[in-house]
A = this chain, B = another copy of it.
Amino acid sequence: MLSILVAAMSLPSVSLSLEQLLERVRRAVPRLTKGKKAVLSALYGAKHPLTAHEIYMHIAKGIHHTTSETPNTKQNLPIDLVTIYRNLEQLERLHLVVKIEHSQTGWRYALTDRPHIHTITCTECGQEISVGECLMADIEQFIAQKTGFTNIHHVVHFTGSCPQCQHHSAST
């Protein structure tokens, strides 16, 4: 059984450039707006799944602050958080974005079909560390065969007691 796990660890990296991705989205949606581009760019550059708020912060930081030299025009206003939620919802319907997990601060989103890692959180101290590349591919394959579903994705999060916190346990 562990052989399955080892086999699943060498992941195919499907590299689609941001421009290719945007072109694909342009064909799929009625309007390729500034907000949609910003959300896709944020997710494209992300090293791990992001919450809507993290996407918002990422976009806001990428925009010039208002100074006497750079006046407050519509170009340098951040995208409203509600617009980010609506764009994520639309991109989800197109299967271009997926909810990967529900963290303590809300859902985390990522581009579909990207190699990704999962994390484990200590329920006692809150420490969150990587458990490495996703090992769910074979399980999803199995589910696809068994159920006939397509576009299968998963929401996963692990919890436990980290090495520093292992004591006072009532369980086996």
A interface residue numbers (CB < 8 A to B): 1-2, 4-5, 24, 28, 92-96, 98-99, 101-102, 112-113, 120, 122-124, 129, 131-132, 135-136, 138-144, 146-163, 166, 169-172
Could you say which residues of chain B place their CB within 8 Å of the CB of A122?
149
Could you say which residues of chain B place their CB within 8 Å of the CB of A124?
93
Q: A102-B102, A138-B2 are in contact. Are A155 and B159 (CB under 8 A)?
A: yes
Instruction: Tell me the dominant secondary structure on chain A's binding face.
Output: mixed
What's the number of copies of this chain in the assembled complex? 2
Do B170 and A150 touch across chains, with their CB atoms under 8 A apart? Answer: no
Q: A138-B1, A139-B5 are in contact. Are A123 and B159 (CB under 8 A)?
A: no
Do B95 and A171 touch across chains, with their CB atoms under 8 A apart? Answer: yes
Do A170 and B5 touch across chains, with their CB atoms under 8 A apart? Answer: no
Do B142 and A153 touch across chains, with their CB atoms under 8 A apart? Answer: no
Inter-chain CA distance A153–B124, complex, in Å, is: 14
Inter-chain CA distance A7–B138, complex, in Å, is: 13
Partner of A131, one of B129, B146, B169, B170: B146
Inter-chain CA distance A155–B132, complex, in Å, is: 17
Partner of A147, one of B94, B98, B131, B155: B131
Do B153 and A155 touch across chains, with their CB atoms under 8 A apart? Answer: no
Do A171 and B5 touch across chains, with their CB atoms under 8 A apart? Answer: no
Inter-chain CA distance A94–B141, complex, in Å, is: 35
Partner of A152, one of B140, B150, B158: B158
Sampled A-B contacts (18; CB under 8 Å): A2-B138, A2-B141, A94-B170, A95-B169, A95-B170, A102-B155, A120-B143, A120-B152, A122-B149, A131-B143, A136-B139, A147-B163, A149-B162, A150-B166, A150-B169, A153-B158, A155-B155, A155-B156
